[in-house]
Amino acid sequence: MARKANVVDIPSLGTLDRSSGQLGRQLAQALRAAIRRGDLKPGEALPSTRVLAKSLMIARGTAIEAFEQLTAEGFLESRGRAGTRVAHSLEQPAAAHVPALPRPTAASARIERFAQVARHFGAVPQVPFAVSVPLGKAAPDDIWRRLGNRIRARGPGAPTGYGDPMGAIELREAVADYVRKSRSVRCEASQVIITSGTQQGLYLACQVLLDVGDFAWVEDPAYRGITAILESAGHSGQMVRVPVDAEGLVVEHGTATCAHARAAFVTSSHQYPLGMPMSMRRREALLAWARTQDAWVVEDDYDGELRYAGHPFPSLQGLDPQRVIYLGTFSKILFPSLRLGYAIVPHDLVEAFCGARVLIDRHPANADQQVLAAFINEGHLDRHIRRIRGVYATIHRQVNEAVARWLAPQLAWLQPTDQGMHLVLWLAAGIDDKQVAIKAAAAGVVVRAVSPMYAGAQGKPGLLLGLGGFTDQAINAAMQRLAAVIGAASAQASA
C-alpha cells in the first residue's frame, strides 16, 4: 500500500507575498478566509505545522505563529498529538433552529432624511460659484501658518488629556472681547462655548431648548441646516415656517400662527438666503414676543461682519442678552476647514449647553484654539476682516457685471444686497432651479437651488452664487456656462 505524501497542498490558501514580509500574518489571513468561504469546514483536520511549513517553503515558526493566532481567535482548536482542526464551534446550527430574520425591503423615512442631508452638504469643487470658498485674496495670508508654527513650537508635541467642554479659556476670552467690539454682543467669557461651527451650535440649541412637542419658528426661506436638524429630531410637525419680507422675519405672522412656540431661529443681520437685515421694528417685536412667551431666540450670525458699505448691522443679542442664544463662526471669515465657531448663551443655559456638548464630541479639538486666540488677540483678525471686505466688495461687483453681460434680464436677475459671501440669482417662473444646479455642476459650475429652502412646493426658483476668491476671468467664464444652462432650461420650460 502506497504511503501518504508528506507534503499537503491547500490550494485555497493562494500564494504568500514574500516581498511584503509578515508571512505569519499572511498565512493566518489566508486560513481565516478559507474557513469563512467554507473551503475548510468545522472539524476538518489541518496538516501539521511542520508539513504545512514544508509545503509553503516557510519557517515552521511562521506556521506555528499563524496557528496560535487563529486558535486564540476561535477559528482553530488544538488537540495535542491529535493535531489541529477547524473549530467545531463554527458549525452552523440546523436550519430549522435558525430563526428567520425579516429583511428590510426599503429604507425608513429617517434613513432617507439623513441620506438627503448627506447629498445636500457633500463636498463641492472649489470652482465658481461655490459658497464659502475663500481662495486667493479672500483667504488668510501667511501669518496664520507662521503664527501656528510659533504657538505649536511652545507646546507639547502630542497634547494629552481631555479639554474643557467649553473650549480653551484663552479663546473664549478672545471671542468675548471680539464680539463685544465688532458685533455689539454683551457677554463674558464664562458664557462662550467653542463649537465646531454654526451647524453644531444650531444642533446644541435644538437639543437644549426644545422638548418633545415644542414648536419652533423658522424663517421661510431658511438655511437647510436648521430645517434638517428639526426634521431629523422629529420636530417636522412642530416647525412653524414664518415668511420674511424686506424687513426680515414677519413676527406678526408668527404670533398669529403659533404664539406659544418655544424658540425662534433667525438670521437677523443677513437673512439666509435672501440677504436683507431684520429691521429694528421687527427686532423689538421679536424680543417682546420672546419675553411674553418665555421663549428663546437663536441668532445665527454666520457672516454679519461682511458688510461692504457702512458699518455691519449690530447683533440682536445686544438688545436682550437674557433671551438670545448667539451663534457665530470663523468658517466664513477665515476658512471652512478650521471648524471653529462659538455659542454665546445666557448664564442659566451654560451648564445645559455644556452637557449637550459632552454627549456629541466631549470638547472641541485643541489643535487650533490657541492659534486662533493669538490671531484675534494680536489684531490679525481685525486686519483680515477689513481686507476681505474690500475683496468681497470687488467680487460682488464683478459678479453683478458678469450677470449683466451674459444673462438676459427676463431670464435671471440678482437680489440687491450690500453684504455677505453670496448673492441670490432669481430665475424666471417655470425654470427648474434644481435641474439647473445639476446641469451647471456637469458644466463645472457650482450653484445651490433656492426653491428647496422654502416650505412646501411654493419656493421661488433661484440660485445661490458664492462670492469665493475667484478671479474676474474665472467668474466670467463660469457665468457664460451658467447662462447657457439657464437658457436651455428656459427653452425647455417654454416648449
Q: Is the pLDDT of residue 7 over 50?
A: no
Fold entry, domain 157-378: Aspartate Aminotransferase; domain 2 (3.40.640)
C-alpha grid cell for residue 367? 489643535
CA 434 to each of CA 243, 321, 466, 491: distance values in angstroms, whole numbers, following the listed order: 21, 39, 16, 16
C-alpha grid cell for residue 48? 501539521
Report the CATH number of the 23-90 domain: 1.10.10.10
Q: What is the DSSP secondary-structure string of 422-478?
A: EEEEEE-TT--HHHHHHHHHHTT---EESGGGSSTT-PPPEEEEE--S--HHHHHHH
For the segment 439-446, the average pLDDT, to the nearest whole number, is 96
DSSP H or E segment with residue 329: strand 324-329
Nearest to 202 by CA among 336, 341, 306: 341
CA 323 to each of CA 52, 173, 262, 293: distance values in angstroms, whole numbers, following the listed order: 75, 22, 11, 11
pLDDT at 103: 59
C-alpha grid cell for residue 313? 448691522
DSSP H or E segment with residue 299: strand 296-300
The type of residue at 234 is G
Contacts of 402 (CB under 8 A, 6+ apart): 475, 476, 479
Which tens digit of pLDDT belongs to each residue from 186-201?
A: 999 999 999 999 999 9
Q: Across 34-110, where does the E strand assignment appear?
A: 76-78, 84-86
Which tens digit of pLDDT belongs to each residue from 238-264?
A: 999 999 999 999 999 999 999 999 999
CB 357 within 8 A of CB 193: yes
The type of residue at 481 is R
pLDDT at 359: 94
Which tens digit of pLDDT belongs to each residue from 24-59?
A: 888 998 899 888 888 888 988 888 888 888 888 889
pLDDT at 37: 86
pLDDT top residue among 404 and 305: 404
DSSP H or E segment with residue 193: strand 192-195
Please give the Cα distance from 383 to 390 (Å, whole number).
11
pLDDT at 141: 76
- What pairing do the DSSP bridges indicate for beta strands 448-449 and 462-466? antiparallel
CB atoms within 10 A of CB 213: 10
* pLDDT > 90 in the chain, percent: 58
CB 216 within 8 A of CB 263: yes
Q: Is the pLDDT of residue 96 over 60?
A: no
pLDDT at 4: 43
Mean confidence (pLDDT) of the chain: 89
Nearest to 230 by CA among 215, 246, 249, 247: 215
Domain ranges of the chain: 23-90, 157-378, 384-494
Which tens digit of pLDDT belongs to each residue from 195-241?
A: 999 999 999 999 999 999 999 999 999 999 999 999 988 888 999 99
pLDDT at 104: 57
CB 219 within 8 A of CB 266: yes
Please give the Cα distance from 303 to 388 (Å, whole number).
12
pLDDT top residue among 261 and 368: 261
456-478 b/e (C-beta count within 10 Å ≥ 16 → b): eeebebbbbbbbbbbeeebbbbb
Nearest to 384 by CA among 73, 104, 93, 147: 147
What's the pLDDT band for 407 if we cut at 50, 70, 90?
very high
Q: Using CA atoms of 72, 76, 78, 84 in order, give the dihedral in degrees to the nearest 10.
A: -140
51-82 b/e (C-beta count within 10 Å ≥ 16 → b): bbbbbbebeeebbebbbbbbeeeebbbeeeee
CA 483 to each of CA 355, 425, 443: distance values in angstroms, whole numbers, following the listed order: 49, 11, 11
Please give the Cα distance from 445 to 203 (Å, whole number).
30
Q: Is the pLDDT of residue 380 over 50?
A: yes
Which tens digit of pLDDT belongs to each residue from 133-177?
A: 777 777 787 888 899 888 888 876 666 678 899 999 999 999 999
Report the CATH architecture of 384-494.
Alpha-Beta Complex (3.90)
Please give the Cα distance from 317 to 327 (Å, whole number).
10
pLDDT at 116: 82
Please give the Cα distance from 275 to 295 (Å, whole number).
25
For the segment 393-413, the average pLDDT, to the nearest whole number, is 96
